Chain A
Amino acid sequence: KQEVTQIPAALSVPEGENLVLNCSFTDSAIYNLQWFRQDPGKGLTSLLLIQSSQREQTSGRLNASLDKSSGRSTLYIAASQPGDSATYLCAAPGGAQKLVFGQGTRLTINP
């Protein structure tokens, strides 16, 4: 049974810092992993989908890595901005047709 954990649960940093969000999963037999962003009271916005064959995926200031052997993924945010404040969720396949989500990391970027 897939379980996904995200650490830390909350993170507050000053604007301009580079930061790393962590995600771990128990079933390493996955072919990809997804990172999402959620603003308060809103739906999920897909940020990155990283295939197991890629190991890394980049979009603008975001970079996600995936290490199946260790059951870990990281989301790196460069030069953070106040607009990056949101909850970040990672999700791994949990068997047929479904995603298993972590509890999220609530990120606050202070101006």
Chain B
Amino acid sequence: KAGVTQTPRYLIKTRGQQVTLSCSPISGHRSVSWYQQTPGQGLQFLFEYFSETQRNKGNFPGRFSGRQFSNSRSEMNVSTLELGDSALYLCASSLEGGGGAQQYFGPGTRLTVT
């Protein structure tokens, strides 16, 4: 089975712009979670989607949003980018979701905001 894929792998954006990141889960997995990883804050939960519904959201401003499609692929969008949004964005998929589910992570998208 193919693993979790994320596109693009690298992005450079300017402050004020918006960006969309994509995640394709492992085939058959219906839950997709997103995490932000920075050197200072470590890994922080953004949100989780299951069957096109957001079930949980972390403590991030409304500039961070996401969605999930009927084929379980997910996108996250960050509007009005700030320098502090520079980070590695990781998505993870699991069969049914839930914090205790076996999570499989993708390679991440490295976002740099200048």
Nearest A residue to B102, CB-CB: A49
Nearest A residue to B41, CB-CB: A103
B residues near A42, Cβ cutoff 8 Å: 107-108
Would you call B106 and A43 a contact (CB within 8 A)?
Answer: yes
Interface size class of B (residues with CB under 8 A): 20 to 34
A95 at interface by CB-CB < 8 Å: yes
Would you call A89 and B43 a contact (CB within 8 A)?
Answer: yes
Would you call B103 and A46 a contact (CB within 8 A)?
Answer: yes
Interface residue from A41, A43, A97 paired with B99 (Cβ < 8 Å): A97
Answer whether A34 and B102 are a contact pair too, CB < 8 Å, given A43-B108, A104-B42. Answer: yes
For A43, A89, A91, which residue has the most chain B Cβ atoms within 10 angstroms? A43
Would you call B105 and A94 a contact (CB within 8 A)?
Answer: no
B residues near A103, Cβ cutoff 8 Å: 42
Q: How far is the CB of A68 from chain B (nearest CB, A)?
A: 13
Q: How far is the CB of B2 from chain A (nearest CB, A)?
A: 14
A32 at interface by CB-CB < 8 Å: yes
For A, the interface residue count at a CB cutoff of 8 angstroms equals 26
What does the 1/0 interface line of B37-52 toward A look like (CB < 8 Å)?
A: 0000011010010100
B residues near A34, Cβ cutoff 8 Å: 102-103
Would you call B43 and A101 a contact (CB within 8 A)?
Answer: yes
Query: How distant is the Cα of A43 from the Cα of B6 in the complex, in angstroms?
Result: 10
Would you call A43 and B97 a contact (CB within 8 A)?
Answer: no
Query: How distant is the Cα of A102 from the Cα of B37 in the complex, in angstroms?
Result: 12
Using a CB–CB distance below 8 Å, which chain B residues touch chain A?
Answer: 4, 6, 31, 33, 35, 42-43, 45, 48, 50, 55-56, 58, 88, 90, 92, 97-100, 102-108, 110
Using a CB–CB distance below 8 Å, which chain A residues touch chain B?
Answer: 30-32, 34, 36, 41-46, 49, 89, 91, 93-104
